[in-house]
Amino acid sequence: MDEMVKKVQQWVNLVYLNRPGYVKIDENGKTGWPVIEALITGLQIEEGITSTTGTFGPATMAKCPTLSTKSDSSNEKTRNQIMILQGALYCKGYNPTGFTGTYGDGTKAAIKKFQTDAGLSNQDGIATPIIFKALLNMDAFVNVGDAKIRNIQQELNRKYYKVTGLNPCDGRYSRQTNEALIYALQVEEGIAEPTGTFGPATKSKCPTISMGSTKANFVKLLQYALYCNNRNPGRFDGIFDENMRTALIDFQRFSALPADGVAGMQTWASLLVSKGDEDRKGTACDCATPINAARAATLKSNGYKTVGRYLTGSHQMTLPELETIFAAGLSVFPIYERKSTEASYFTETQGVFDARAAIGAAKGYGFKENTIIYFTVDYDAVDGEVTSRILPYFKAIKRTFAQLNSGYQIGIYGARNVCSRVAAAGYSVSSFVCDMSSGFSGNRGYSLPTDWAFDQIKTRSIGDGLGKIEIDNNISSGKDKGVNSIVYNKENSNDYVSTTNNKFLNQLKVLYNTAVDYVTKKEGNKPNPVGNITQQANELVAQYLRKDEYDGLLWILTADFIDSDFVKIADDVLKGQEKRILIDPISKLTLDDAHMMATFNAIIHSSVGMIQDLAGWAGDLITVGGDTVKYNANYKTTYDAAIDLIGGQIGTFGLPDLLGDVDAVNLAMNTRTGIASQPVYKVFEEYYTTGYSTRYSQFFKNRFNNSFEAVTKDAEYYLNTNNPVCLEFKQHFSVNNYTQEDGQAIAQAFADCLKEKIKSE
């Protein structure tokens, strides 16, 4: 506790407590924004500002007095203003030798000391409005960092303070120092009204500086900027010598600029703003849009070599897409992102969860060892949050990667400061920098991470027609060239999928023909339309394929008894044959044919819509309600959880279940019932040859008549109804309790998920 700061707090409370707009502060002797804002409020009251803000803005500056030893302390208003000034000096660490309201030699000496620290050439001990403003904030003017950075800060203040105000001189390159450099450049460029923002006018007036340049002021600013970006030009004297040229070339190489030792607009931009020249041509990109052959051709023709795509979520990549990308001569870098848009998301628990999900997804796609997976920090994390949130999250990811012996490496997507600190802690090996967000506090005043691989600078749309695609344009350092192949094996080889599915379809045909023979013999000479034989045979095939996992009372009520006599005959026919499996041609996942056929069986057997739905998508959606309760610690909202769990990597309604439910509805509609029945093996063959490519659109039409309102309404009904059948379903599958509001959120997530799936087709 500082006794003088406490006296300042006591005085400002005493004098202004009952004045409009003033809020009492704690009298704890601690310097901080509360006491600074209280002093500003007091100054605004003395200035006659009725709408006090506690912020030193233009109105406060316009009415701010100039104080000196000549100020009349007998005037109450002036005396209070001097007290505010002295209070600010104490809070800033300067000793005016008295908190008296009289501008004596001690106050003058303290102001002169501050003027010296701020780098001002005129050290007259007079408190001007600019000095008043610099004292009434939390900026430091005592060196706590790099002496040369402090020298730069002081020189910028000395020459440009009338435009920039007085910026901190603490030896730390910061947002304010970065802004002061831009202001200074604009002054030297002759811009009438400098803004501190590197915009079109600043870009157009950027000088070209090289060896022998006589533009000393520009050279000096270039020297400052190089040093602030970790490239030492040797001196700050305005002379472009060989040392400076070496530093410039080093920076250009590091930033993937033409390394010619000549500072043009692109070099100035890269030195002074995170995104640099946003129109610069990149060779890498990332996008949410699936890459088809036409889009891959667009990327290739525009000079792109590497594309970032998502491992999970509504924008996740697919195996055929990867094949298309590789066939076009492009490579891929995988990105893992959930709802990483605010600090509360980042916990150790979430880190473990995300690491496991990312590893599972990467292995499912066949990504090889040493592939770098980029985990996102997609918001402007301040330094304290990096310490308390981001670092523990990435520490948990690294620990989990090691425990599971994943073979993969950890990358990070985020602002410059976030990436640099995670790398420095040893939790990542490569940075994908969101420099496009140039206003982020974690970008301004920070240099590029030393391990940067991709630098995201602008969103752009390229191509036309089927090849049109929106991308984020990225500069590549060449550190991570992405991957241009994956491990093709049983799980994802096209030849294997085709061969395996043909075996399944052949076995399905054998089962169907066996069922037709069985029904025909069983019926004998009874009148029996051909269509009914086909439907009965289809049901027998479905019963046979679901028998091992989907029997029991609930499924008997849903899809009828399993005909044990037919099972014996079919077993005998298939004796010695291995169990055939069905693989989704898109995701290359092995489909749960037993689950799908149970749902299919229920639909073609029962005319009751509720029974049909609960046997498939609606039943699985109800279990998501229980999953959201189970995994709620990993998500901010129920909607966030549901959107991730439906068709995701974990939970009871993962992608294989979603595919099974969707396909079962489509197959049942195509198979039809009664006299219009089609043989099941023919329907399956057609569907898994071409029909699957629009499976979600078909499902949307077949079940919901192309109405998203119906999707949400029906989903919410099943999730929240008190219908005894649904309640029995929840009890049977031990679904944890969730609220009505949760049910509404899950229903909306299901509709949104379906909408995204349809868009991707």
Q: Report residue 707 CA to chain centroid gap.
A: 30
Give every CB contact of residue 180 below 8 A, 6+ residues apart in sequence: 153, 156, 157, 160, 164, 167, 196
What letter would DSSP give residue 583?
B
Within a 13 Å sphere around the CA of 648, how many CA atoms are in the beta-carbon half?
A: 27
Fold category of 175-272 in CATH: Muramoyl-pentapeptide Carboxypeptidase; domain 1 (1.10.101)
CA–CA dist 584, 388 (Å, integer):
43
CA–CA dist 374, 335 (Å, integer):
5
- Identify the pLDDT of residue 656: 85
Reference 556, options 611, 610, 508, 487; nearest CA is 611
Distance, first Cα to last Cα, the chain: 65
What letter would DSSP give residue 438?
T
Q: Do 175-272 and 284-476 show the same overall fold?
A: no
What letter would DSSP give residue 466?
G
Q: Which token pair is 244?
A: 């400076």
CA–CA dist 683, 681 (Å, integer):
5
Q: Are strands 469-476 and 452-462 parallel, antiparallel or unpaired?
A: antiparallel
CA–CA dist 417, 432 (Å, integer):
12
- Identify the pLDDT of residue 528: 52
CA distances from 378 to 415, 435, 632, 752 (A): 8, 12, 21, 21
Query: Would you say 624 and 653 are in contact if contact means Cβ atoms under 8 Å apart?
Result: yes
* Backbone CA torsion sign across 750, 751, 755, 761: positive
Give every CB contact of residue 439 below 8 A, 6+ residues apart in sequence: none
Three-state DSSP class for 310?
strand
CA–CA dist 386, 381 (Å, integer):
6
Count of other CB atoms within 10 angstroms of residue 263: 28
CA distances from 168 to 96, 136, 222, 237, 396 (A): 20, 12, 20, 22, 37
CA distances from 2 to 93, 141, 233 (A): 10, 19, 42
Which residue ranges make up each domain of the chain? Answer: 3-138, 175-272, 284-476, 494-760
CA–CA dist 257, 414 (Å, integer):
22
Write down the CATH superfamily of domain 284-476: Glycosidases (3.20.20.80)
Give every CB contact of residue 282 below 8 A, 6+ residues apart in sequence: 304, 457, 473, 474, 475, 476
CA–CA dist 680, 534 (Å, integer):
8
Query: Would you say 151 and 159 are in contact if contact means Cβ atoms under 8 Å apart?
Result: no
Query: Would you say 421 and 442 are in contact if contact means Cβ atoms under 8 Å apart?
Result: no
- Identify the pLDDT of residue 591: 84
Please write down the HEC assignment for all residues of 719-738. HHCCCHHHHHHHHHCCCCCC
- Identify the pLDDT of residue 527: 53
Query: Would you say 52 and 44 are in contact if contact means Cβ atoms under 8 Å apart?
Result: yes
Mean pLDDT of successive 10-residue stretches along the chain, which has 761 residues: 94 94 94 96 94 94 96 94 97 95 96 97 96 95 94 97 95 95 97 94 96 94 97 95 96 97 97 95 94 95 97 81 95 92 92 86 88 97 96 97 94 98 98 95 95 97 92 97 83 70 93 94 62 89 90 82 93 84 82 89 88 93 91 83 84 88 95 89 93 95 96 96 90 89 96 92 84
CA–CA dist 71, 88 (Å, integer):
17
CA–CA dist 455, 413 (Å, integer):
10
List the alpha helices (DSSP H) in 215-318: 216-228, 242-254, 265-272, 293-301
319-332 burial string, b = 16+ CB within 10 Å, else e? bbbbebbbebebbb
Query: Would you say 502 and 509 are in contact if contact means Cβ atoms under 8 Å apart?
Result: no
Q: What is the CA radius of gyration of the chain?
A: 35
One-letter amino acid identity for 323?
E
In the block, residue with structure tokens 């707090």: 9
CA–CA dist 646, 617 (Å, integer):
10
Per DSSP, the residues of 15-29 read HHTTSTT------SS
CA–CA dist 238, 261 (Å, integer):
16
One-letter amino acid identity for 512?
Y
In the block, residue with structure tokens 């250009």: 252
- Identify the pLDDT of residue 200: 94
Q: Which token pair is 351?
A: 């880190």
CA–CA dist 35, 543 (Å, integer):
77
Reference 130, options 62, 32, 50, 38; nearest CA is 62
Three-state DSSP class for 148?
helix
